[in-house]
Amino acid sequence: MTVVAEGLSKAYGRHTVLDHLDLTVPSGAIYALLGPNGAGKTTTVRLLATLLRPDSGRASVAGFDVVDARSEVRRRISLTGQHAALDEQQTGEENLRMVARLTGLSRAAARERAGQLLERFALTDAAGRRVKTYSGGMRRRLDLAAGLVGEPEVMFLDEPTTGLDPRSRQAVWEEVARLASAGVTIFLTTQYLEEADRLADRIALLHRGRLVAEGTAAELKHRVAGERLELTLADADAYEHAELMLGGRIVRRDPARSTLEVATDGSGAHVRELLDALDPGRTLVERFAVRSSTLDDVFLEVTADV
């Protein structure tokens, strides 16, 4: 395993930010740590990237302890934070050459490496422009390129698409997938459920500093039922009647919208059976829809009582 955490904890005063986190990330995988703001995602990344020391527990990255072998860990990782760490007064090429020189490359090697990365991230045409003129998507791509100058084994991406437009987000997703296919282990934090669903081989759900669920997207969705029948009831009385009849089969309630959701196998026979049993007179259900469970459903389910 490339990243391992055992009982990792961090607190600031009386406020526990991370509470005995256990996780393992296989080599070459995309692992997504998913959760809302304040869940502990960035703290986890900072601990694993040796920027913070844990209060308890231990962690290793690329086979080295993040406390006892910080220098070895840092040689093997890169970290791309929520905000691009670029010099806006320099050009894109100058930024990459500077990073390359800081990693120990010669001037000639730094120039060559910058050129390779500019081409890889489709930034060659903008290489001579100051970064302050770049769009948000271009800055993010340049920041990712800077993180690859040293050819890391593990890349930590802390909410890499926050604030990007859909087209730029798509471009970043495609590049992350290419990095993983090339053998780079990606540790990704995000609050976008779609992002985790789209990219990750495995997903961990973090809530209030605790790991509340972990698995593939399919495994997590199956945990809260693979298919759901969403019922929109005709009025408040119909809603109350349906809620009473369906009881424990309900997986989500939304009184404001007069909707209930129940688990189903998605087959026509099962849907008809449910509708006939609930509304034989065809007066209670205004409309219905069958849909697959989403990571939104998973997160709401597993954090309901946490």
Q: Are 203 and 216 in contact (CB under 8 A)?
A: yes
**Mean pLDDT on 81-104:** 89
% of the chain surpassing 90 pLDDT: 56
Assign a CATH topology to domain 3-221: Rossmann fold (3.40.50)
List alpha helices for 122-192, DSSP H: 136-147, 166-181
Q: Does domain 223-302 have CATH number 3.30.70?
A: yes
Q: How confident is the model at residue 185 (pLDDT cuts 50, 70, 90)?
A: very high
Angle formed at CA 124 by CA 114 and CA 166, multiple of 5 degrees: 110
Q: What is the pTM of this model?
A: 0.76
**pLDDT of res. 95:** 95
Tell me what pLDDT residue 305 has.
55
Selection from 192, 199, 271, 278 nearest residue 233 by Cα:
278
Residue 98 has pLDDT above 90, yes or no: yes
Q: What's the rounded mean pLDDT across residues 17-39? A: 92
Taking the C-alpha atoms of residue 214 and residue 99, their distance in angstroms, rounded to an integer, is 35
- Per-residue pLDDT tens over the stretch 105-123: 999 999 999 999 999 888 9
Section 147-169 average pLDDT: 87
Q: What confidence score (pLDDT) does residue 26 get? A: 92
Where along the chain do its domains lie? 3-221, 223-302
Residue 266 confidence (pLDDT) above 80: no
- Asked if residue 77 has pLDDT above 60, the reply is yes
